[in-house]
Amino acid sequence: MKNYTTDQIKSVALVGNAGSGKTTLAEAMLFEGGVIERRGDVDHQNTVSDYNQIEHENESSIYSTVMYAEYNNKKINILDVPGADDFVGGAVSSLHMADAAVMLINAQHGVEVGTEIHSRWLDRFNKPAVIAMNQCDHDKANFEKAFESVKDSFGSPVVLAQFPVNAGPGFNSIVDLILMKQLTYGDEGGKPEVGEIDAAHQEHAEELRNELIEKAAENDEKLMEIFFENDGLTEDEMRSGISTGLIARGIFPVFCVSGEKNMGVGRLMEFITNVVPSADQFPAVKTKDETEVKCDASAAPSMFVFKTSFESHIGEVNYFKIMSGEVSEGMDLTNQRTQNKERISQLFAPYGKNRTKVTKMSAGDIGCTVKLKNTSTNDTLCGSGASYAFPPVPFPNPKFRAAIKPLSEGDEEKLGEALNRIHDEDPTVIIEYSKELRQIIIHGQGEHHLNLVKWQLDNIYKVESAFHPPRIPYRETITKAAQSDYRHKKQSGGAGQFGEVHMIIEPYLEGTPEKSTFKINGRDYKLSVRGKEEHKLSWGGKLEFINCIVGGSIDARFLPAILKGIMEKMEEGPLTGSYARDIRVYVYDGKMHPVDSNEISFMLAGRNAFRTAFKNAGPKIMEPVYIVEVLVPSDRMGDVMSDLQGRRAIVLGMSSEKGFEKISAKVPLAEMSKYSTALSSLTNGRAMFTMAFDEYASVPGDLQDDLLKAYEAEQDED
C-alpha cells in the first residue's frame, strides 16, 4: 500500500439502524476498492466485518470494525458500527474519530429508532452526514415514503443527490443529479453504464438538480453570487458547495444503493473521495487543556487510541487515529497518561481481522498496532515536540445493571481478569466492585448487552457465573436532633477498658451554623463550641464533628477515636447497613478512667452512642433517583406513560423531537430494574431512553418499613 497524504484520506463511519445493511455495504465497498476479491454475505457469516464468534452466534454486529478501501487514488477508512442501542459504544467511538458518517436508511422502513440514536450522536459530535438509501432492490422498498421520513427527521438540509428509476425487485437504474446522468447496472452490479436520463424522468431530474444546486450554493457566498449570475453551477462548483455544506452540516445529500447487489456503491465511494472533506479541512481539535491541534502532517506526531481488541494469537490490538504529524515504524512515543515510552514496532491498515502492513501513516489516518506495553482506549501517545492529551470518548451512561458472582469460590480472580478484559474491549461495560453493596456490579446499555457479557464469560473465558439482582445503594440520614450517651466498660483482669461519651446529633444542612442550645425530650442542653471538623464523605454528603468538651471530662487525644467510631457506624448505617450522610455531631461530655481509658474504649463508646442517637433522631432512608428521558413513537405514548407511573415516576415534561415524543421523568433506581427490556416490549423496539443520576430522595414510609424488615431478617439469617 502507498503512503497516503492527509488530503488523500477520508474516514467515514457507516451508521444506522440494525438491519439497514451496513455490513453488506462495507463488504461491497471493500470489493470495489480491491481489498477483497470476492464479496461475502451476512447469511454465510463470511464478511470482513462481523468476524467475531459472538457476532456469528447472534447474527448481528456487536463491535465496531475498522476497514479500508483504496479508490480513486484515495484511501477511505471505513468504520462499520453496530446498529442496536445495546452496543452503541462502538458507534460512539467510531463517530468520535470519523470525519463524516454515511447514514444508511432501509428503503423499506425509513427512519427507525437506531437512525435516531445515531443521528443524536452525529449532532453531538457535529459530524457531516451523507445519507444512503439502501435496499432499494427490496420488493417492499418505498423510496418516496422513506425519503419523506428522512426529511421529517433531519430537516431542511436533506436534499436528493440521486433518485431510483425503478425501486423494488427490478431496481437497476439511478438518476444522478450531480453528474446529470442515468446509471444503469447489470445483474452483478459493479461498474454502471452511464447514459442520458430517460425522457420520462428528465423534467423531474432538472427540478431536483435545481434544488441541489440551491442547497450547495447556500453554504458559500461566492457560489451564491455565481448561482445568481449564471442561473446555475458547474459540476465542480456544486462539489465545492456540497463539501462546504457538509462541514457546516448545512446539507445532507441522499444517495441510492443496493449493498447486496453492489449497485450505486462505486458512485457513493467516488463522491466520498471527491467531495466528503478530509480531516485537515475541519477546525482544530482541542485537547483537555483547550490547546488546539490542527490535523497537519508537518507538525509533531500525536495519536489517540479509540478502540482495543484482543486476539488469541496476537494479544492486544490498539486502534488509533493520527491526530497530527506522521507516525512510522520504530518510532518511540510517550503515553501522556503514564509518561512511559511506547515503541511503535509495527503499523497496520486493518480490514476486520486482517491487516495490511505499512511503514508510515500521516495525520488524519486510522490504523492499528500491536504489542504496546501499557496503552489502552482513550490514551494519547505523542512524539518529540508534542505533549497533548485528547479528551476521552464520551461514552453514554449505563442503563442496566446486574450483580455477578462466580459459581466456584476459587474463580473470583479469574472472573475479575475476564471482566476487566471485556471492559477494555467495550468501555460501555463498567465493572464496579462495590464495598457498600458487597457485590460485583456490571453496568451496561441493556439486558441483551449484559447477557452477551455472560456469553463471553461462559464460552470464551470459561468462567461459570450467575447474575443476581443488584442491591440498591440507599443512604441513611436523620430528620431531627437527638441525644445519647454510652459507657463502655470492660474488666477481665489486668488493665480494663473504660470510656463514656455524651453526644447530640442533628441533620446537617449546607450553610446552616452550629447551635449552642437544644431542647430534647423536655431537657435543655447548653453547649460551648471548642472546635469543628467538616468531613466530606466519599459516598456523598458530609459529617460535621464538633468538640464541645469543657473541663477536661474527655482528653483531647481521645476525640479522634470517637470520630473513628462514628465514621465506622456511618459506613454501615444503623437502619439497613447503607451509608449514612449529612449529620452534625456534638460531643459535649463524658468520663475517663486514669488507668483503663484508651482509644478503643472511646471508639466503641462513640460508635454505640451514635447508633442510639441515630435511631432516636427521626431516621429516614433515601434512595437514588435518576433523570430518565424516553423517546417514544406517539402511538405508544400512553403505554409508556402508564408504565412509568407504575414505577413511581414523577413526570417533569413532554415534548416532540424529530418525529418522536420525549418524556422526561424522575424515577427511583429501584424501579428501573429491566426497564430497557420492558420498554422494548412495550414499543416493539421502537423507543429509546437515557438515564443519569440526579439526587437522593426520601423513600415512602411503607417502602421504608419493608426495607427495615428485610434488613432485620437478613441480620437474623447471618
DSSP one-letter code for 8:
G
What pLDDT, in 10s, does the model give residues 283-309? 999 999 999 999 999 999 999 999 999
d(CA 305, CA 323): 10
What is the Rg, in whole angstroms, of the alpha carbon atoms belonging to the chain?
32
| Domains of the chain, earliest start first | 6-199+250-281 (3.40.50.300), 285-382 (2.40.30.10), 400-471 (3.30.70.870), 476-618 (3.30.230.10), 622-703 (3.30.70.240)
pLDDT of residue 493: 67
pLDDT at 686: 80
CA distances from 69 to 21, 45, 191, 224, 326 (A): 18, 21, 16, 35, 20
Residue labelled with grid coordinates 470495489? 32
**Helix, strand, coil distribution of the chain in percent, nearest 5:** 30, 35, 35
Return the HEC string of 472-492.
CCCEEECCCCEEEEEEEEECC
* One-character DSSP codes across 34-64: TS-SS---GGGT--SSS-SHHHHHHTS--S-
22, exposed or middle or buried, with CB in 10 Å at 0-12, 13-18, 19+?
Answer: buried
Which pLDDT belongs to residue 717?
67
Axis-axis angle for helices 559-571, 599-615 (nearest 10): 50
Contact (Cβ atoms closer than 8 angstroms) between residue 393 and residue 442: no
Amino acid at 241: G
Q: pLDDT (tens digit, 9 = 90+) per residue, 157-203?
A: 999 999 999 999 999 999 999 999 999 999 889 999 999 999 999 99
Helix (H, G, I), strand (E, B) or coil at 428: coil
CA 279, 22, 674, 671 dihedral sign is positive
Residue carrying C-alpha cell 451554623:
513
Round to whole Å and give the CA distance between 424 and 461: 14
Regions of the chain where pLDDT drops below 70: 493-494, 658-659, 717-718
Question: What is the C-alpha separation between 416 and 663, in angstroms, rounded?
Answer: 38
Are the CB atoms for 111 and 150 separated by under 8 Å?
A: yes
Partners of 631 in the beta sheet? 662, 688
> Measured between alpha carbons, how far is 471 from 449 in angstroms, rounded to an integer?
20
Per-residue CA distances from 44 to 51, 56, 75, 506 (Å): 11, 9, 28, 68
Asked if 292 contacts 24 with a C-beta cutoff of 8 angstroms, the reply is no
* CA–CA dist 175, 136 (Å, integer): 13
Question: Which one-letter DSSP state was computed for residue 635?
Answer: G
So what's the pLDDT on residue 113? 81
The confidence score (pLDDT) of residue 127 equals 96
At 507 the pLDDT is 97
Question: So what's the pLDDT on residue 485?
Answer: 96
Task: Report the interhelical angle of 235-247 vs 199-217 (nearest 10°).
Answer: 50
Using CA atoms, how far apart are residues 669 and 666, in angstroms rounded to an integer? Answer: 9
Report how far residue 652's alpha carbon sits from residue 629's, in angstroms, rounded to the nearest whole number.
Answer: 10
Give residue-wise pLDDT tens across range 123-163: 999 999 999 999 999 999 999 999 999 998 899 999 999 99
Q: Given this model, what pLDDT does residue 718 score?
A: 56
